[in-house]
Structures are given as structure tokens and as C-alpha cells.
Amino acid sequence: MIAAFLLLAAQASPDAALSRRVERVLERSPVIDGHNDVAWEIRELHDAKVEAVDLSVDTARLPNPLQTDIPRLRKGHVGGSSGRSTSPPMRPTRSR
């Protein structure tokens, strides 16, 4: 049992070192999210009711989960984000 634990610990060490290195890099160089669909997700999944979605908590646990929330943005060291406003393409009408 101890040998299995030591084997697992030895295998985890490089990953832990890499995780610490990545953490240091991200603390110095925050990520800028160039495409965030939170507005579209709120529109599509929550009937466009912005006030009904609390982005300060884990939105992955909502009945209609979102990909974005403040805790995950902070954990990922996202220092900025941009959104865009789009509309679905209109279907061409056929002339009769």
C-alpha cells in the first residue's frame, strides 16, 4: 500500500511542479478572453433575464449551466474579456 502511494506521489510531482509554474506565469500575465458567450447563453438558456443569473457563484451548477462565472474567471486568471453582439442569420425569404 505504501509503495502504491509513493508511486502515485512520484508521478504527481511533475504535474504539481508544472501546475505551480503555470500558476506563476498566469499571475504575472493575465489571460484576455477574446470571445465570451455569456450574454448569448443568458439570452438562450435563461430567457434573456440577466437579473436572474448570479455570476458571482458557480453557474455550472444551474439547471441551465453557463460556461462563465466570476469564480472560474478568477481561477483561470482572466484579467479581461470581450463580448460581441450578434443576431442569428435571417433566413432568406422566397418571392412568390
5-20 pLDDT tens trace: 544 555 555 688 888 8
DSSP state for residue 37 in the 8-state scheme: -
Q: What residues contact residue 50 under an 8 Å CB cut-off, 6+ apart? A: 42
- For residue range 22-78, what is the model confidence (pLDDT) as tens digits? 889 888 988 888 888 888 899 899 999 999 899 999 999 889 999 889 999 898 889
Residues 33, 82 contacting (CB under 8 angstroms): yes
Q: What is the pLDDT of residue 3?
A: 44
User: What is the pTM (predicted TM-score) of this model?
Assistant: 0.62
Query: Do strands 31-33 and 78-81 pair parallel, antiparallel, or not at all (unpaired)?
Result: parallel
Q: Helix, strand or coil for residue 31?
A: strand
Whether the pLDDT of residue 91 is over 80: the answer is: no
Give me 43's grid cell.
439570452
- pLDDT confidence of residue 54: 94
Residues 72, 66: Cα–Cα separation, whole Å: 11
Decide: 35 and 78 in contact? Cβ < 8 Å.
no
